[in-house]
């Protein structure tokens, strides 16, 4: 089973709202990732968690706040977003944070900021 689940599938939020995206995997993977994909563009890495600790932040604005409550769960807290933050947010996981470990992606959450 290589399933990564993400909720919600779609989210519409105003610029003053606070919302959270959720990602879950039960493959025993110890590395988890958030990517952002704008329309007609390739995915871009945002954050990397390794063994529940934030190891990489790709210079993401502080209005995006990741959290890893346990080894199976990854959240992305959103606050005071801008319309240009509208995108598909993808979660991925891999056995470990290593170039030889394939990453498995979830279906994504399509976010619209109004």
Partner 1 sequence: DAKTTQPTSMDCAEGRAANLPCNHSTISGNEYVYWYRQIHSQGPQYIIHGLKNNETNEMASLIITEDRKSSTLILPHATLRDTAVYYCIVRADYKLSFGAGTTVTVRA
Of 14-22, 59-67, 70-78, 92-100, which segment contacts partner 1 by CB under 8 A? Answer: 92-100
Please say whether the beta carbons of 83 and 114 come within 8 A.
Answer: yes
Of 14-22, 43-51, 61-69, 70-78, which segment contacts partner 1 by CB under 8 A? Answer: 43-51
Nearer to partner 1, 1 or 16 (CB): 1
Q: How far apart are alpha carbons 76 and 70 in whole angstroms?
A: 14
Q: What are phi and psi of 54, to 5 degrees?
A: -70, 120
* Shortest CB 93 distance to partner 1, Å: 11
* Shortest CB 36 distance to partner 1, Å: 11
Question: How many C-beta neighbours within 10 Å does residue 92 have?
Answer: 22
């Amino acid at each position: 089973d290589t399933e990564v689940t993400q909720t919600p599938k779609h989210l519409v939020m105003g610029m003053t709202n606070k919302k959270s995206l959720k990602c879950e995997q039960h493959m025993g993977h110890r590395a988890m990732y958030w990517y952002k994909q704008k329309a007609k563009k390739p995915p871009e890495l945002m954050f990397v968690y390794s063994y529940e600790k934030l190891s990489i932040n790709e210079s993401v604005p502080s209005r995006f706040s990741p959290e890893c409550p346990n080894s199976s769960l990854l959240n992305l807290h959103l606050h005071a977003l801008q319309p240009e933050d509208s995108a598909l947010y993808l979660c991925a996981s891999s056995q470990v944070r290593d170039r030889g470990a394939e990453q498995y992606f979830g279906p994504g959450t399509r976010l619209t900021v109004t």
